[in-house]
Chains A and B, each alone.
Chain A
Amino acid sequence: MKIYELNASEIHKGLRHKDFSAREVAQAHLYRIEQTDKDLKAFVTVTTEQALRAADAVDAKMSRGEELHPLSGIPVAVKDNMCTTGVKTTCSSKMLESFVPPYTATVVNKLEQAGAVVLGKTNLDEFAMGSSTENSAFFTTRNPYDLERVPGGSSGGSAVAVAAGQAVIALGSDTGGSIRQPAAFCGIVGVKPTYSLVSRYGLVAFASSLDQVGPFARTVSDAAWALEALAGHDPLDSTSVPNAPVDWSQPLDKGIRGLKVGVPREYFADGMEPAVVKSVREAIKVFECLGAEISEISLPHTSYALPTYYIIAPAEASSNLARFDGVRYGFRAEGATNQEELISLSRSQGFGPEVKRRIMLGTYALSNGYYDAYYGKAQKVRSLIKQDFDNAFSQVDIILSPTSPTTAFKVGARVNDPLSMYMADLCTFAVNLAGIPALSLNCGFVEGLPVGLQLMGKAFSEMMLLQAAFAYEQTVKLPQLPVFKGGLPNV
């Protein structure tokens, strides 16, 4: 087995047994990036030197006989919308193409504190707005299962890095499905934590009341280690919860006998690809065989999730992105003759079409005279959607659904049709609106493309979701790395 095929717990074991050094692990992954990223285009920036320095620090620690954190020496990739001191943080936008932050996001700090080795920054849809990474101002990331297809988005670069063995763990951010949907398209595990569980400090905001950072991994166990490291109160983020009631000491292999699983009929309705529904139904049978009690439930306001999301998220985004004005940092347009022009030209030239579309939507929704009809009403519907989940979780422990209505689609297939692009996140919006946790894991393949299974739980039920996912994963034992199409080397 090659080093890049190992998961975090195997690397941890290998380091402790001195099978290899942290430097060798880092080098193996950097080499893997070198070999594959011409085709995959997952990374915007690779930080080779910093990575090797971090790996050497782990090796030094080991040679002093110090105890290693399970993430020590584990190669990780970071979505390029999280700030890293001295390393460009572009949000895959022309606006921040050369922006180098003077501070580091709390989540990245936490990983580094644990000894993780940051390999670089990954591609995304500009400012995390999109479902395919095609909205990146730089290039489109490709799906390792089929280079003609998108990896999903917006955290497409991070999902691909993990799926293709370029990194063991990666950070993504999820505002409406941006971790779960690319995890589904790339056949890996992606966790969207409960809102407030993980600090947002240093995550470039898209929609502040919806954004959460979470991990990608190839195994449930790796995802659990990463999530535990990321979680916790951050005094720099007022919305982060002080004492989250998540018991990280619970075993992952607790089993799911007696677990009450709800299957919401609204998530199996029209618009879902039949083959995807079939895969998910089969996964539900596996849960049943493992002793879970399956019942059909209803989340009646599900159909309102998309329109509600597309008012709240753009409204917050229109304000969050107002700071990019060409005045203090980032892209500045040439030829302005006054300050108003400087701002409008810089924004016109610095933002891509999807970002502009959402700024327009959000500005409109917040305008004088329209606030009540749009933003105000959307907030009311948001609480109805929350209520749906509250009601459901009084009957069941977790809810299962497809993560996305389809498998990965072809590059270019939806770029000119924003609505069909928005539909790719149909199954994931409601979770962000309700602030609850959810994860996606692979539950099989349709025509060689992974299908994602979404597990949703009530606030702070991350351990229960991970235990359920673990039980499924250990039973089904699907392959973790793709057999690449299109001549991609399995070096």
Chain B
Amino acid sequence: MYETAIGMEVHLELCTRSKVFCGCSTNYGGAPNSQACPVCLGLPGSLPVLNKRAVEFAIKASLALNCEVAPETKFDRKNYFYPDLVKGYQISQYDKPIGRNGYIEFEVEGVTRRVGIRRVHLEEDTGKSFHDVAAERTYLDFNRSGVPLIEIVTEPDIRSSAEAKSYLEALREIMEYIEVSDCRIEEGSMRCEANISIRPTGSSDYGILNEIKNIGSLRGVQRALEYEIKRQTELVSSGGIVLRQTRRWNESELKTEVMRTKEEAHDYRYFPEPDLVQLVIDNSWLNKCRSEIPELPRARRERYVRELGITPYDAEELVADRALAQYFEGVARLGTEPKLAANWLLSDLRRELNQASLAIEQVKLREAGFSELMVLVSSGAIGSKTAKDILGELVHSGVSPAAYVKEKGLAQLSDTSEIEKFVEQAIADSPKIVADYRVGKERALTALVGVVMKLSRGKAKPELVNDLLTQKLNKGRL
């Protein structure tokens, strides 16, 4: 039997406004080479100037992954030739990454897994080549050149392809949550590579490692790893040896193929970048970054279940949308029963948002208003049907729910004598239904409630209507 050891290397584009070593915009999708200056084109004589915000994003990512943050760090040059690499080297970090020795925890099939984070470092992105095969031409776009990246490298702690996928989902959730990257695999802002080896179960040494590149989706990660586990296991089982290789995932043929052998491996000739000075991260800067990190999704979910009594499913749903969770917390903080608030947010409010294509941040009904609406419902001042009916209006207008209910006269009728009048009229107006009821058709009662509600224009409190009708109808029977 063999077990698998997988380490992941993930590159994330940071969502800073400007590039890591110059002032050019990082916007995605601009006309080719419209966001390129002498620095990110690597023109002779140009020099890099470090973007402080990019460093902060890397620090925040490191902290969110429980890493130690280096008090002093530096940048290094990684030298290799490629047409889309403008300087012939990439400014990266070699032996002093910003973050190291961290971990991430996530659930796989209900079991908590912890995967070590070896390092988090900051570097610059390269340009992009487009090969026009028919015309035998290659085009280069340098808009992406110099966009800040962090590379996150795990320990070889991942044991299956499913775990690898869960790791990536958990990582993406955290990075989106702390707003350092939008983690879009399709747009290339999240790129995954895997190092994979197999070893006899129980062995403490790792097997020969293969690096898998060119994986373009989460599903691709899982498939590529499954393929590779199978390939290596079959190879070893049949007496073969795994060679150290870099392999490319072929998405259309669903297999990995050799890209480089060990002998062809690059010698990157790393050395300290002399154009940048040492980077000192002192405690006050570290604390500033720490203060910008919100409660992370996993902790938040657990707290919702444990302290607020939310179901695990609802907690998952709320936390998945950071802005919605924020809103929810605001509502709960104002004293609204959390479960009630969660129900309303996840069903009714979310439906209104979807219909109007609004983000929660754009809604005019803020936390205080929503909380007021919940008080109206739970106190019985308005019926839940009324609340649902007016929600759409409130979301757009932002008026106080209490004021709106008062102005429109929508308050629920709970005055028994008032309701009695409607009940009597309903009985008088509906002899056939009453007769049905009398012969034992229980559904007739529901119909009568409907008549009363109609007469009261929806304001009568349904429970009271029910009680009064039963009383009146049964009285006649005696």
Contacts and interface: CB of A to CB of B under 8 A. Distances in A.
Contacts of B87: 322-323
B330 interface: no
Given A319-B269, A367-B267, A102 B81 contact: no
B44 A204 contact: yes
B274 interface: yes
Contacts of B267: 367-368
A323 B86 CA distance: 6
Interface stretch (B35-43, B402-410, B415-423): B35-43
Contact of A83 (B44, B86, B277): B44
A82 interface: yes
Contacts of B50: 238
Q: Secondary structure of the A side of the interface?
A: loop
Nearest to A201: B47
Interface string B143-165: 00000000000000000000000
7 contacts: A91-B44, A103-B46, A203-B45, A204-B44, A319-B89, A328-B86, A366-B271
Contacts of A237: 47, 49
Contacts of A144: none
Nearest to A327: B83
Contacts of B274: 207-209, 239, 316
A238 B86 contact: no
A91 B275 CA distance: 20
B269 A363 contact: yes
Contacts of A343: 81, 83
B271 A238 contact: no
A477 B46 CA distance: 41
A342 B43 CA distance: 19
Interface string B35-72: 00010011111111110000000000000000000000
Interface in B257-289: 267, 269-271, 274-277
Interface size class, chain A = 35 or more
Given A82-B45, A89-B44, A328-B140, A238 B88 contact: no
A318 B87 CA distance: 11
Nearest to B41: A328
Contact of B42 (A83, A202, A323): A323
Given A316-B271, A328-B86, A363-B269, 15 more contacts: A91-B44, A201-B46, A202-B45, A204-B44, A205-B275, A235-B49, A237-B49, A238-B48, A239-B275, A319-B271, A322-B88, A323-B42, A339-B82, A339-B83, A343-B81
Nearest to B265: A368
Contacts of B38: 101-103
Interface of A: 82-83, 89, 91, 96, 99, 101-103, 105, 200-205, 207-209, 235-239, 315-316, 318-319, 321-325, 327-329, 339-340, 342-343, 363, 366-368, 371, 375
A319 B267 CA distance: 13
Nearest to A321: B88
B79 interface: yes
Contacts of B247: none
A188 to B, nearest CB: 25
B138 interface: yes
Contacts of B83: 325, 327, 339, 342-343
B276 A322 contact: no
Given A208-B274, A238-B276, A327 B45 contact: no
Of A83, A318, A328, most buried by chain B (CB within 10 Å of CB) is A328
Given A238-B277, A325-B81, A328-B140, A96 B271 contact: no
Contacts, number: 107
Sort A-B residue pairs by CB-CB distance and give the 7 closest, nearest first: A322-B88, A208-B274, A366-B269, A209-B274, A204-B44, A202-B45, A368-B267
Given A205-B45, A238-B277, A329-B43, A323 B271 contact: no
Contacts of A82: 45
Given A103-B38, A339-B83, A339-B138, A323 B44 contact: yes
B81 A319 contact: no
A203 B44 CA distance: 8
B301 interface: no
B269 A367 contact: yes
Nearest to B79: A319
B45 A204 contact: yes
B77 interface: yes
Given A339-B83, A366-B79, A315 B42 contact: no
Contact of A238 (B43, B49, B81): B49
A453 B41 CA distance: 42
A375 B38 CA distance: 29
A335 to B, nearest CB: 14
Interface in B407-453: none
A115 B138 CA distance: 45
Given A319-B79, A323-B87, A366-B79, A101 B275 contact: no
A293 B41 CA distance: 53
A319 B88 contact: yes
A235 B140 CA distance: 29
Nearest to B269: A366
Contact of B79 (A200, A235, A236, A322): A322
B81 A322 contact: yes
Interface string B6-29: 000000000000000000000000
Contacts of A340: 81
Nearest to B87: A323
A432 to B, nearest CB: 12
A205 B47 CA distance: 9
Contacts of A342: 83
A90 B44 CA distance: 10
Contact of A103 (B43, B82, B86, B88): B43
Contact of A327 (B140, B276, B277): B140
A368 B269 CA distance: 6
B140 A96 contact: no
Contacts of A204: 44-45
Interface string B161-190: 000000000000000000000000000000
Contacts of A363: 269
Contacts of A319: 77, 79, 88-89, 269, 271
A197 to B, nearest CB: 15
Contact of A236 (B49, B88, B138): B49
A323 to B, nearest CB: 5
A325 B88 contact: yes
Given A103-B38, A200-B47, A367-B269, A238 B79 contact: no
Contacts of B44: 83, 89, 91, 96, 99, 101, 204-205, 323-324
Contacts of B89: 319, 322
Contacts of A315: 271
A208 B43 contact: no
Contacts of B270: 366, 371
B271 A375 contact: yes
Nearest to A363: B269
A371 B270 CA distance: 9
Nearest to A205: B45
A316 B44 CA distance: 14
A371 B94 CA distance: 14
